[in-house]
Amino acid sequence: MGIVTGEKEFFKGIGQIKYEGPQSDNPLAFRWYDADKVIAGKPMKDHLRFACAYWHSFCGNGADPFGEPTHIFPWSLKDDAIERAKDKMDAAFEFITKMNLPFYCFHDVDIVDYTNDINENDRRLQTMVGYAKQKQEDSGVKLLWGTSNLFSNRRYMNGAATNPNFHVLAHAGTQVKAALDATIALGGENYVFWGGREGYMTLLNTDMKREQEHLAKFLHTAKDYARKQGFNGNFFIEPKPCEPTKHQYDYDAATVLGFLQKYGLIDDFKLNLEVNHATLAGHTFQHDLQVAADAGLLGSIDANRGDYQNGWDTDQFPNDITEVTEYMLIILQAGGFGGGGINFDAKIRRNSTDPADLFYAHIGGMDIFARALVIADNILQKSDYKKIRADRYASFDSGAGKDFEAGKLSLEDLRKYAVENGEPETISGKQEYLENLINRYI
């Protein structure tokens, strides 16, 4: 895969980012991400399946509730929407190919600005799909997932699929149809639903049961349309507990699993989990990963991190090797992602204003996951980590414990066993030992 630029080079002075190894002191090189290096039976790039998020990297302008944009992108200056969108896509593919990222992800409105005229929006998106197709062919970069933004436009202030006004729901369906068509035309491997404003601010004005039924119906309708168009990929739901609404319906992995089960969506939908969303839900990301993995529905992840002191979705790039190693332990043991990969749903800080900052951020994120992959594989292959966990449950491997698992014991049987065997022995959970083990392999 070579560098693909448009007429103009946007990130001048920065070339192909290459693997130089842990000893390198070049800040624009990988120390750990060696795309073709084989770990646990396959190349790093196939384990990790990194994707660039169009919205944070090429649209997010650094504005916050207190201040104006700080990222004045040279690709956002032209007056004509299509010309502007083409510049942005040129910049995006230049960055993605310089970074050697195999995938990208977008919302409809990241690709081209939308108006309130549906036909004009369709025309714009289709034009840009043609442009993207060529870029994908030239570069070999693929679309990990597409989605539609059903939260920014003011019409969605009371929700999209869960809006009390059917007219708004119809607009949401219109947008999803176009975004699905675009995803399919670009060979997208998955389609994501993050329930932006699907939730409520107060129950005083909300029929929660009816809104959730509408959400399920909406997802069925979208899924049926995509399947009819020949889409074989996965649909992902991305849980988040709050923000923008006070209470989002897709609270966390466990909540979404129950919802999928209840409404008959479990065969078509998997989970796209985001670090900062899990922590906002009061979980570790490891917890949500394990919940999804245990259900066989770990589809993809949005990699980022929150801030230990701030309680919102700060979407910072991942940088904690201990935590990321624990993620990779779970992901590896789950057999990898179900069709997805690692999307950097993360943004550089408002005051990170050098063009190189976007590169440093992605290099750091890719390196930390690559390094964690190597460490986690070592822990699984070389240490007693798996054995310690298995041994904790050894009492269920034979005898009465095994009978219990097989459903053969009654409550009376349990009493008989307890009486006959007296007080159980004290067995350590060995938490510090295991924490040290992770450190040792880092």
Q: Catalytic residues, which ones? A: 107, 110
Tell me the site size for Ni ion, rule CB under 5 A.
Answer: 4
Distances (CA, A) of 173 to 176, 182, 214: 5, 14, 12
Contact set for ligand XLS, span 8-27 (CB under 6 A)? none
211 binds ligand XLS (CB under 6 A): no
Distances (CA, A) of 393 to 289, 384, 388: 21, 15, 9
252 binds Ni ion (CB under 5 A): no
Could you tell me the smallest distance in angstroms from the CB atom of residue 274 to ligand XLS?
5
Distances (CA, A) of 147 to 110, 144, 196, 212, 222: 10, 10, 11, 20, 12
Instruction: Name the H helices within 140-229.
Output: 166-185, 208-228
The residue within the footprint of ligand XLS, chosen from 94, 288, 302, 377 (CB under 6 A), is: 302
135 binds ligand XLS (CB under 6 A): no
Instruction: Rank residues 94 and 302 by Cβ distance to ligand XLS and give the closer one.
Output: 302
Q: Reply yes or no: is the peptide bond before residue 239 cis, omega within 30 of 0.
A: no
- Alpha carbons 169 and 156: distance in angstroms, whole number: 9
Could you tell me the smallest distance in angstroms from the CB atom of residue 357 to ligand XLS?
20
Give the residue from 234, 223, 277, 233 showing the smallest Cα distance to 255: 277
Q: What would the x/- binding string for ligand XLS be over residues 99 to 128, using CB under 6 A?
A: --------x---------------------
Residue whose Cβ sits closest to ligand XLS: 194
Instruction: Rank residues 252 and 313 by Cβ distance to Ni ion and give the closer one.
Output: 313
313 binds Ni ion (CB under 5 A): yes
288 binds ligand XLS (CB under 6 A): no
Contact set for ligand XLS, span 325-364 (CB under 6 A)? 345
Could you tell me the smallest distance in angstroms from the CB atom of residue 251 to ligand XLS?
13
Give the residue from 111, 242, 254 showing the smallest Cα distance to 175: 111
Instruction: Rank residues 147 and 183 by Cβ distance to ligand XLS and give the closer one.
Output: 147
Q: How many residues does the chain have?
A: 442
Give the residue from 329, 243, 315, 339 showing the smallest Cα distance to 286: 329
Instruction: Rank residues 6 and 306 by Cβ distance to ligand XLS and give the closer one.
Output: 306
| Residue 175: alpha-carbon gap to chain centroid | 21
The contact set with ligand XLS (CB under 6 A) reads: 107, 147, 192, 194, 238, 240, 274, 302, 313, 345
